[in-house]
Amino acid sequence: MKTSIATRLAVMFAVAALGVFSLVGVALYRVLHRELGRHQLSEVNTRLEYVGMMVGRNDNAVSWQNLRAKLDTLTPADDSVRYWVLGPDPRFVYGDVPAELRERLGAQPGRPFVLELEGRSMRAVSRSIPPKGARPAVQIVTALDSTRFCDTLDTFAGALVVLCLAGVSLVTILGHRIAKVGLAPLSSLSQEAQSLSPRDLSQRLRLSPLPRELSDLVASFNGALDRLERAYAQLEGFNADVAHELRTPLTNLIGQTQVALAKERTATQLEEVLQSNLEELDRLRKIVSDMLFLARADQGETALDRVQASAAEEVSKTVEFLDVILEEAGVSVRVEGDAHASFERSLFLRAASNLLLNAVEHSERGAEIVVAIARRESEMRIAVTNPGAPIPEQHLERLFDRFYRADGARRNSRDNHGLGLSIVKAVAKMHGGTVFATSAEGRNTFGFTLSDSPLAATPGGSSSSPW
């Protein structure tokens, strides 16, 4: 069974209060113990001084009889105070000296000690009196019963225990009540969170009536809901784009097939229909293949089969491979600079090919496309620039998104399925790099960077500006 936060806090308060009360109680007990001991010792010494003065004035056997009578008078009926006088002459002694007292006097002369007599503990002190007249040197001992001091300590300790337990119980009850009151905003917040509906992703938790700690939590939770809403919207848009891209070739396939089956066709006509269908099927294959590649990149796949190679040589191979397309478009390609880096050759060629095809598609006849290769520290930068119409800033930030087309800003945007630049971004991410796009002074630049350390990849894998 799970316990509530209020109960947990109450238990914590109780443990903390028990610890504090225990420390305070122990400290008070020690202080009282020390003070009672000091007062007890002070009383014993006072009595010892008084008896010492009387013993010092008595120097003959006659006056010693009077001293014995006075000491009898000073001794209470309950023997809570005892006196002894020890000496070599039996005429000048007092009290029945127990054996334990003689041992203690021999072991600790002149120091306070505890004497156990008849089941009671007594605090005792001794003092030597020099000889005077007929009286030889004697030693006097005064002992005070410690029972009443021990009873006081026991009573105090019992009161401390009772007060400590009562205080802990009170702190527990008040702590539980205070915790429930303090956690009331959390309860209301929980109820509000339960009212969130998946049908309305724009719902958010309120911040105004909450304390600062919960406000930070709610702000973070609302931020997560914002990201979830954006991701859901992006997913819906992505699904719509996929459906749209797949619907066109499928519609063409179905339409052409229905037309071919509407009446008898010659073998040549059927071959033309099949050839057209094959082109649409190949387009479908490319879309599916690109989607699978992007899905693997989203799952964190990295470039593993890296080799050290010249970027300029690989770009030149790509230009030769696209020679027919470049000739039909009437554009030329110039490669500037070079850099050696570690990359997966097939992925690099795919990204470079997509950038060149993108530049060719949006360049006029006679235009020159420039591929600039440079290196800085642990990154290599590939930038493909072509003359073209300016691209608004709001489109530049999204051109590498899947199926995104900057309608009105890019010519012939419907002649491809909108995954070319997304694949470039995926390749850069798999190499720990970023992508960038700029448009200025009639020239548009698209490119990517590759890092020698894939772990340096940025979370988004993109950037709006080059070096």
Reported as a single tens digit per residue, the pLDDT across 126-175 is: 988 999 988 999 999 999 998 888 889 899 999 999 999 999 999 999 98
Position 467 pLDDT exceeds 60? no
- pLDDT computed for residue 409 by the predictor: 40
Position 414 pLDDT exceeds 50? no
- pLDDT computed for residue 400 by the predictor: 83
Position 455 pLDDT exceeds 60? no
Reported as a single tens digit per residue, the pLDDT across 277-322 is: 888 888 788 777 777 777 777 777 777 788 888 999 999 999 998 9
Q: Which residue has the tokens 């009672």?
A: 36
Reported as a single tens digit per residue, the pLDDT across 171-210 is: 999 988 888 887 777 777 777 777 777 777 777 777 666 6
- pLDDT computed for residue 302 by the predictor: 79
Is the CA virtual torsion 303, 307, 313, 318 positive or negative? negative
At 244, the pLDDT band (50, 70, 90 cuts) reads low
Domain ranges, ordered by start, for the chain: 5-156, 212-294, 302-451
- pLDDT computed for residue 456 by the predictor: 45
* Same fold flag, 5-156 and 302-451: no
**5-156 is a CATH 1.10.3470 domain:** no
Query: Which residues, including other chains, have CB under 8 Å from residue 301's CB and lie 6 or more apart?
Result: 430
- pLDDT computed for residue 157 by the predictor: 92
Any idea which of 20-34, 66-80, 91-105, 410-424 has the lowest mean pLDDT? 410-424
DSSP result, 293-334: HHHHHHTT----S-EEEEHHHHHHHHHHHTHHHHHHHT-EEE
The rounded Cα 139 to chain-centroid distance in angstroms is: 74
Any idea which of 11-25, 153-167, 202-216, 344-358 has the lowest mean pLDDT? 202-216
**212-294 is a CATH 1.10.287 domain:** yes
Mean pLDDT of 112-123: 84
Instruction: Please name the helix (run of DSSP H) or strand (run of DSSP E) that holds residue 14, with its range, or none.
Output: helix 5-57
Between CA 252 and CA 147 the distance in angstroms is 111
The rounded Cα 330 to chain-centroid distance in angstroms is: 59
CATH homologous superfamily of 302-451 equals Histidine kinase-like ATPase, C-terminal domain (3.30.565.10)
Torsion of CA 451, 452, 458, 459, to 10 degrees: 120
**pTM (2 d.p.):** 0.50
- pLDDT computed for residue 237 by the predictor: 65
Instruction: Report whether 139 contacts 106 (CB < 8 A).
Output: no
